[in-house]
Amino acid sequence: MSLKSHAQGSPFPPTKPGVLRIYSMRFCPFAQRTRLVLAHKNIPCEVVNVDLVKKPDWFLALNPLGQVPVLQIDDKIIPESTATCDWLDDVYPENRLQPVDPYLKVWDRVLHEYISKLIGPLYGAMRATDASEIEMKAAEIKKHLQFYEEKLKGRGDGPFFGGSKPSGFDFLMWPFYERLPALTILKDNPVLEIEADKIPTLTAWDKAMRQLPAVKNTMFNALSHVNWYKSVGKGTPDYDMYLAEH
Amino acid sequence: MSLKSHAQGSPFPPTKPGVLRIYSMRFCPFAQRTRLVLAHKNIPCEVVNVDLVKKPDWFLALNPLGQVPVLQIDDKIIPESTATCDWLDDVYPENRLQPVDPYLKVWDRVLHEYISKLIGPLYGAMRATDASEIEMKAAEIKKHLQFYEEKLKGRGDGPFFGGSKPSGFDFLMWPFYERLPALTILKDNPVLEIEADKIPTLTAWDKAMRQLPAVKNTMFNALSHVNWYKSVGKGTPDYDMYLAEH
C-alpha cells in the first residue's frame, strides 16, 4: 500500500477483513502517538495517509471531525490519539504500556492532562510573529518542561516515565518533544533553545527515547520538521515530502 | 468535618490513616465529577472545601496548580477530575463505571475528548458581553449537544451513555449539562435555551440522570447556580452559599 497521501477525489482503498488500518498524516504529532504504539507493540497495520487540506469525502464520512489519527478494523472506528493508544494497549497486551499499579497508572493520566500546557505554547510560538510573544511562549514551554523534569525525577528508576520500560505517557509526550528543536530553528530565535543543563533528567529521557525502535521508526530529524513546517507556513503543505527517502 | 471552605490562614485539617479525602469546592463542576463517582460507589470520604480565591498555603503545597478536585489517601495525591474518576473506578470496583468491552470503553474516552467543545462555549457564553458573541457560543453548544444526541442514540438500550447503568462518561458530562439552564437565566437570552425536541435522547438522559442518588446528592438547581455565578461575577464568590440548607 502506497504511503502517498489521499486527497479529495482519490478512490477509497478497500479494507480487508480483520486487518487493522490507521488513517494518518506523516508529520502529524498526534497520529505519531498512535504509530509509536503500533510500532512498539509490533502490531501489523495498514497506513492510509490523508491530505488534511483536501480531505477525501470517504475520510470525512468516517470521521466527521476530519482529524487524524483514526483506527479502523472491521466495523470498529476509533478516533482521538489518546483513545487509540489506550485501546491498542487493551486489545494488544504485548509490551504493556499502562502500569498495572493503579497509582502509577493514574499518574500517567495526570501527566497527560497537563500536556496541553506544553503543546499550547509550542504551537503558539510557531504562530507568533513578534519577539515578545515568542519570549512569553518560550517561558511557558520551559516552565512546563521543568514540571515534567521534576515528575520524571520523582519516578526513580528511569530513564522513562514508565521506569526501565516506556509507559503510555512516554509515547504521548514524545512527538511534541521531538519537535522542540525544529521550533528553535524555524523561528531563528535562541530564546526557544532548550537548556539541557536545566533539565538533565528529561535530556537523558530524550536520549533513551531516541534509541527505541518505535521512535526510530516514526521520527523525523529537526531539519525535516523545519522543511515540513515551512511548507505548511506557505499554505502548501507537502504531505509526500521525503517519501522516496523515508 | 465542616463543609465551610478553608481560606488562607485556616489551619490544615489533619488527615487520618487510611481515610480518603477530597479537596473540593461546592460549586465546581470538575470536583462534582469526582463527588458523583464517590457517591455512586458509596465510598466513604472526607470533604475539605477550599476557597479558590484565597487558597491556603497547605493546599498549594499539595497541588501547586491550585485546582480542585484532589484526592488524598495516606501518601497518595491524585489531582485532575478525569484521573480521579478513573482511579476510583480501579480501586473501588463496586458499581463499575468503565465498560469491560474495550470498544465500549474506548468510546467513553472518545466522548470525553470532545467534551471541551461543549465546556468551552458554555464558559465562553458566560463571559460574553455582546449578543452576537452569545449567539455564536449558543450555536456551538447546540452543535455539540447534537453530536452527543447522535452518539447517545447510537448506544441503543439507554437511557445512559453506559446503557441501562451509568458509565464513567455519564458522570464526566453531567455537571456541565446541569449548568446549562443556569446559563440561559444568567445571560437572560433565549438564544441559549436548549430545544428539548431537537435532542429527545439527551432530554430523556437528563431525566434519568436526575433520578440517580449520586446526582441528587451533588446537584444544585438552576437558580442556585445562577446565584453562585452572580457572586462570582461580582468578584466575591460566596463559597459557603446555601451551606445551612444544603
Query: Inter-chain contact A76–B103, Cβ cutoff 8 Å?
Result: yes
The amino acid that residue B122 corresponds to is L
What is the secondary structure of A88-141 as a DSSP string? HHHH--TT--S-SSHHHHHHHHHHHHTTHHHHHHHHHHHH--SHHHHHHHHHHH
Mutation to test the A interface, candidates B110, B140, B149, most A Cβ within 10 Å: B110
The amino acid that residue A24 corresponds to is S
Residue B137 lies in a domain: yes
Q: What whole-number distance in Å separates Cα of residue B172 and Cα of residue B166?
A: 11
Supply the range of the domain harboring residue A64.
21-91
Query: Inter-chain contact B80–A109, Cβ cutoff 8 Å?
Result: yes
Mutation to test the B interface, candidates A76, A81, A110, A114, most B Cβ within 10 Å: A110
Does B88 share its domain with B140?
no
Residue A236 CB coordination number (10 Å): 9
Pairing of strands B21-24, B70-73: antiparallel
Question: ipTM of the assembly?
Answer: 0.90
The amino acid that residue B42 corresponds to is N
Residue B227 lies in a domain: no
- On chain B, the residues whose CB falls within 8 A of the CB of A106 are 78, 83-84, 86-87, 90
Residue A41 lies in a domain: yes
Q: What whole-number distance in Å separates Cα of residue A242 and Cα of residue A232?
A: 15
Does A119 share its domain with A189?
yes
The amino acid that residue B228 corresponds to is W
**In this structure, is the dihedral angle defined by the CA atoms of residues A89, A92, A97 and A102, taken in order, positive or negative?**
positive
Mutation to test the A interface, candidates B78, B100, B106, B116, most A Cβ within 10 Å: B106
Residues in chain B whose Cβ is within 8 Å of chain A: 65, 76, 78-80, 82-84, 86-87, 90-91, 102-103, 105-107, 109-110, 113-114
Residue A160 lies in a domain: yes
Q: What whole-number distance in Å separates Cα of residue A69 and Cα of residue A29?
A: 10
* CATH code, A63: 3.40.30.10
Distance from CA of A244 to the nearest CA of B (A): 35
Does A60 share its domain with A125?
no
With CA atoms as reference, report the closest residue to B173 among B144, B137, B131.
B144
What is the full per-residue pLDDT of chain A (246 aa) written as tens digits?
Answer: 789 999 999 999 999 999 999 999 999 999 999 999 999 999 999 999 999 999 999 999 999 889 999 999 999 999 999 999 999 999 999 999 999 999 999 999 999 999 999 999 999 999 998 999 999 999 999 999 999 999 999 887 889 999 999 999 999 999 999 999 999 999 999 999 999 999 999 999 999 999 999 999 999 999 999 999 999 999 999 999 999 754
The number of domains in chain B is: 2
* CATH code, B163: 1.20.1050.10
What is the secondary structure of B111-150 as a DSSP string? HHHTTHHHHHHHHHHHH--SHHHHHHHHHHHHHHHHHHHH
Q: What whole-number distance in Å separates Cα of residue A98 and Cα of residue A167?
A: 6
Residues in chain A whose Cβ is within 8 Å of chain B: 65, 76, 78-80, 82-84, 86-87, 90-91, 102-103, 105-107, 109-110, 113-114
Residue B218 lies in a domain: no
